[in-house]
């Protein structure tokens, strides 16, 4: 059995995520609701990221999904409970990779004409790869009511 020496340091990579959203009036641009939540970086997402450290693969984390399910995220999740819309992360910024701790941001937005028919309540978000593999999952404390008079901007941040 090995024993750690006093003051021994260890390197740790722990993936964390956070989601920010802004629901705005489509006509005036006034922010109606803003929120920020920590999210669960799921096991299949962690495995996907670690596998990219040793492969020459061009697959990317690049999609943000919206969903209606209110079930709390768990590390064993592999999909959203009830996704209805996704967008390519139109903006992916690695500017934070030189920060301490390093981070990446993924941003997407939905216009007022991009609401969905089944419900106007958004209760969950997901960050996915292009395969698609779920990387991160977060639910909202209360529904975000998105209608044709709104726009929605979402930013997902992954950090260590």
Instruction: Dig out the tokens for 91 from the structure.
Output: 């903006």
SS3 of residue 85 by DSSP: strand
Q: What is the model's pLDDT at position 151?
A: 93
**Tokens standing for residue 79:** 């999909």
* Cβ atoms of 149 and 112 closer than 8 Å: yes
**CA geometry: angle at 41 spanning 63 and 11, to 5°?**
120
Band the pLDDT of 9: cuts 50, 70, 90: low
The C-alpha torsion from 107 through 66 and 34 to 95, rounded to 10°, is -20
What pLDDT shows up at residue 157? 92
Q: What is the per-residue pLDDT across 79-124, written as a single tens digit (0 to 9) for each?
A: 999 998 999 998 888 888 888 888 889 999 999 888 666 567 999 9
Q: Taking a C-beta distance cutoff of 8 angstroms, is the pair 62, 130 a contact?
A: yes
Select the more confidently predicted residue: 1 or 83.
83
Ranked by mean pLDDT, the top range of 6-10, 56-60, 127-131 is 127-131
pLDDT at 47: 84
Give the pair of three-digit tokens for residue 13.
Answer: 């990579």
pLDDT tens-digit readout, 12-65 = 567 788 999 999 999 999 999 999 998 888 888 888 887 776 666 677 888 999
> In the beta sheet, which residues pair with residue 34?
22
Confidence of residue 148 (pLDDT cuts 50, 70, 90): confident
């Amino acid at each position: 059995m090995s024993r750690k020496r006093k003051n021994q340091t260890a390197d740790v990579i722990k993936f964390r995520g956070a989601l920010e959203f802004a629901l705005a009036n489509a006509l005036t641009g006034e922010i109606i609701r803003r929120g920020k939540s920590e999210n669960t970086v799921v096991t299949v997402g962690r495995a996907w990221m670690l596998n990219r450290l040793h492969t020459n693969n061009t697959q990317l984390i690049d999609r943000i999904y919206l969903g209606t399910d209110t079930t709390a995220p768990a590390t064993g999740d592999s999909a959203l409970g009830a996704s209805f819309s996704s967008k390519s992360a139109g903006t992916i910024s690695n500017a934070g990779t030189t920060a301490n701790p390093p981070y990446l941001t993924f941003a997407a937005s939905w216009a007022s004409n991009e609401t969905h028919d089944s419900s106007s309540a958004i209760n969950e978000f997901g960050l996915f790869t292009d395969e698609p593999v779920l990387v991160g999952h977060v639910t909202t404390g209360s529904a975000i009511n998105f209608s044709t008079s709104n726009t929605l901007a979402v930013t997902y941040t992954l950090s260590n």
